[in-house]
Structure 1
Amino acid sequence: MTFLRRALVPAVGTVLVLLLTSPAALAHDRLKASNPADRAKLKSLETIELEFTSHMQLPTIVLDGPGGKPVPLDKPRVQGNKVFARPTGALPEGRYRIAWRVVSSDGHPIQGELAFTITAPAPSPSASEETPTETPTPASSPEPPQPASAQPASAQPPSSSSSTAAATEADGTSGPPGWLWAALAVVLAGGAGVLFAARRKPRPDRG
């Protein structure tokens, strides 16, 4: 009995030590939740969110799209126990895979993968460009009125003769017409000629 007790005491002590220390040894930091969840089906995704059981550092997130093509992401940022990353554009329809890697609070790196599906296609930027948009027709503005001093191009300034005639008629002192002066000159010239011929005619001698 003494030998049996001596053998059991160390064994029981070892089991107790293992039971007490194993949770601490196995309690490494881990992924607690994620958005999107693994194998989720979404219509769209704007931000990848990973929540861990403790504060993480040096996060790395890689996103692969349909056909295994890499999808650009913004630089991951840490806020408390969460890590965030945003795609730089809208995600088209298809299957995606998230691969992540972080360093836990005890310096141990952990990593994992998530898969999700986008069920609705992303809006195409060219669709809005191809859609014709009606542009309002600007109302025709009325022509500005011309200044009172402006004259039409076809209007001619009144001639000086017209102005003189108008001024004469307005005064009511018009002189004799030119043809009357011409007739009077002819009559005077004829009379002068007759008078000159009469003076030169020889007088008859008286016997």
Structure 2
Amino acid sequence: MRSLIIRTLLLCASVVLLVLPAAPALAHDSLKSSSPAKNAVVDGLDQIELEFSAHVSFPVVILHDAAGRRYESGAPRADGPKVVEKVAGPLPSGAYVIAWRIVSSDGHPVEGEIPFTVRSTATGAAPPPPATATPGPSTANAPATGGSAPAASEQGVSAWVWGAPIVLVVILAVLLLLGRRKGAQDAASPDAAAEDD
């Protein structure tokens, strides 16, 4: 009987360990659409709009050209599944990349890039001054740093939401089995004593 309980516990623990990492991994949110779209050619850009498959948090959006100059303005704004980032000044013609990172609704960080091209009709458009074009490391990195701790916290909560009920069921099953066994032994003991008398 004891070996059966041990085998049952090992089986349940194995199932829990296999299910917990897999369940959150299947639920990562994905980018549904963006403005500008991937590999699009645009005349200009006032703001970047990203729409995800579910509610996201701690967005980071960086817009840079081939030389690494950055053109985002201020912190991105998240509203449910949508993220909006303002663009600093008119963009000169050239190739650009939007690099984004969000914390998915399941607590995991997700990131990606969207390349696009600007073909400005205005001639002689100069890039904005460096102070305006680059918000600086504190503005750009603050959401990313803030995002790492909540990501771990939300991941822990997500794991406990799935794991706690399973662990409780296993513990209750073991206690019931042990209780029945002890009850059967207690019931058998007085009978045996009565027969001996």
TM-score (norm 2): 0.49
Larger Rg: 1
Which of the pair has the greater relative contact order for Cα pairs under 8 Å at 6+ separation?
A: 2
Higher relative helix content = 2
